[in-house]
Amino acid sequence: MSFTLEIGAPAPDFSLKATDGQTYSLDSFASSRFLVVFFTCNHCPFVTGSDEVTRKTVEKFTEQRVAFIGINSNSEITHPNDSYANMIVRMNEQRFPWVYARDETQETAKAYGALRTPHFYVFDEQRRLVYTGRGVDNPREVDKMTVNDLDNALTELVSGQPVSVPLTNPIGCNVKWDGQDAHWMPAEACDLV
């Protein structure tokens, strides 16, 4: 079995507290046609390098009833910058147009098989996975990017077409797992394609 959620799989549920103080689950997004779950954090240069591209994608698709939740699963023991308190500070500074939630136990990251930050998962109306992987092909230096895979997948999805490239390798820092070296990844977590 693959570590990362496979195409066609249902979205695992979660119950996570966000920076707005509310707790979110899949049901919180029931009124949205599509859902993007992505694993992110406060400090990773691949996240901070591509946040503004992600913002533009979110702004473009929100009016087409696509909901977005960013989840920070990084161990704050390994990376204190990723604490819930620091997430609130970052959200207040950046005013991101997505829900930003904390996965303190890392159970949600394990359920989805999150590999890196950022790592995107796009779900259809039945909450089945239709795309997973990177947002763009150069998240650290977006001025050099040539492909916005997340935008492409969502463009196809909202227009009723199948996603032509459903799987890419996420590009970024690995998820910081509790009790492990900062660069550790599960043995079964390898490249997706």
Query: What pLDDT score does 146 carry?
Result: 97
Query: What pLDDT score does 192 carry?
Result: 61
Query: What pLDDT score does 191 carry?
Result: 61
At 112, which amino acid appears?
Y
Residues 6+ apart with CB under 8 A from 21: none
pTM of the shown model: 0.96
Give every residue of the chain whose pLDDT is below 50, as ranges. Answer: 1
CA distances in angstroms from 172 to 9, 14, 61, 81, 110, listed in the order given = 23, 23, 23, 17, 17
Using CA atoms, how far apart are residues 168 and 80, in angstroms rounded to an integer? 29
Token output for 106: 């890392």
| Residue recorded with tokens 């570590």 | 3
Torsion sign over Cα 139, 144, 149, 155: positive
Query: What pLDDT score does 1 carry?
Result: 47
